[in-house]
Chain A
Amino acid sequence: MSTGPTPTGKPQVKALNCPGCGAALAVRSFGNAVTIVCDSCHSILDAKDPNLQILQRFKVATDEVRPLIPLGTRGKIRGTDYEAIGFQRRTIEVDGLPYSWHEYVLFNPYKGFRYLTEYNGHWNDVSILKALPEVHAFGSAPTVRYLGETYKHFQTAQAGTSFVLGEFPWQVRVGEAAVVTDYVSPPRVLSSEKTGNEVTWSMGEYMAGKDVWKAFRLPGSPPDAVGVYENQPSPLSGEAKTIWVAFAGFALLLLVMMIGFDMIARNEQVFTGSYRYDSNQRGEASFVTDEFDIRGHTSNVEVKTGTDVNNRWIYLNYALVNEDTGKAFDFGREVSYYHGHDSDGSWTEGGQNDSVAVPSVPAGRYYLRVEPESDPGYGVTYYTITVKRDVPQYSLYGLALLALLIPAVLLTWRTLSFEHLRWAESDHPPIKWGNDE
Chain B
Amino acid sequence: MIRSLYMLYGAVVMTVLGMGQYQGWSLARVNEVKNVPRSIRDNPGAYRSIYSSYHHYTGGK
Q: Are B52 and A317 in contact (CB under 8 A)?
A: yes
Q: Which residues of A contact B36 (CB under 8 A)?
A: 319, 321, 326-328
Q: Are A338 and B59 in contact (CB under 8 A)?
A: yes
Q: Which of A333-367 contact B (CB under 8 A)?
A: 334, 336, 338-340, 342, 347, 349, 356-361, 367
Closest chain B residue, CB of each to CB of A312: B58
Q: Are A243 and B17 in contact (CB under 8 A)?
A: no
Closest chain A residue, CB of each to CB of B26: A357
Q: Are B29 and A396 in contact (CB under 8 A)?
A: no
Shortest Cβ distance from residue A341 to the other chain B in the assembled complex, whole angstroms: 10
Q: Are A330 and B26 in contact (CB under 8 A)?
A: no
Q: Are A239 and B26 in contact (CB under 8 A)?
A: no
Q: Are A357 and B10 in contact (CB under 8 A)?
A: no
Q: Are B49 and A250 in contact (CB under 8 A)?
A: no
- Is A257 positioned at the interface, with any CB of B under 8 Å from its CB? yes
Q: Are B24 and A315 in contact (CB under 8 A)?
A: no
Q: A326-B37, A404-B13 are in contact. Are A390 and B24 (CB under 8 A)?
A: yes
Q: Which residues of B contact A286 (CB under 8 A)?
A: 44-45, 47
Q: Which residues of A contact B9 (CB under 8 A)?
A: 407
Please count the residue pairs between chain A and chain B whose beta carbons lie under 8 angstroms apart in the complex.
171
Whole-angstrom CA separation of A301 from B26 in the bound complex: 10
Q: Which residues of B contact A404 (CB under 8 A)?
A: 10, 13
Q: Which residues of B contact A361 (CB under 8 A)?
A: 24
Q: Which residues of A contact B57 (CB under 8 A)?
A: 313, 334, 336
Q: Are A329 and B34 in contact (CB under 8 A)?
A: no
Q: Can you give 8 contacting A-B residue pairs, CB < 8 Å?
A: A236-B2, A247-B10, A286-B47, A301-B24, A326-B38, A338-B59, A359-B25, A393-B27
Task: Mark A residues whose CB is within 8 Å of B.
Answer: 236, 239, 242-243, 246-247, 250, 253-254, 257, 261, 284, 286-288, 297-301, 311, 313, 315, 317-319, 321, 326-332, 334, 336, 338-340, 342, 347, 349, 356-361, 367, 369, 371, 373, 375, 390, 392-393, 395-397, 399-400, 403-404, 407-408, 411
Given contacts A319-B36, A331-B51, list 15 more A-B pairs with CB under 8 A: A261-B21, A288-B41, A313-B56, A313-B57, A321-B36, A327-B34, A327-B36, A328-B33, A358-B26, A360-B25, A369-B44, A371-B52, A396-B20, A396-B26, A407-B6
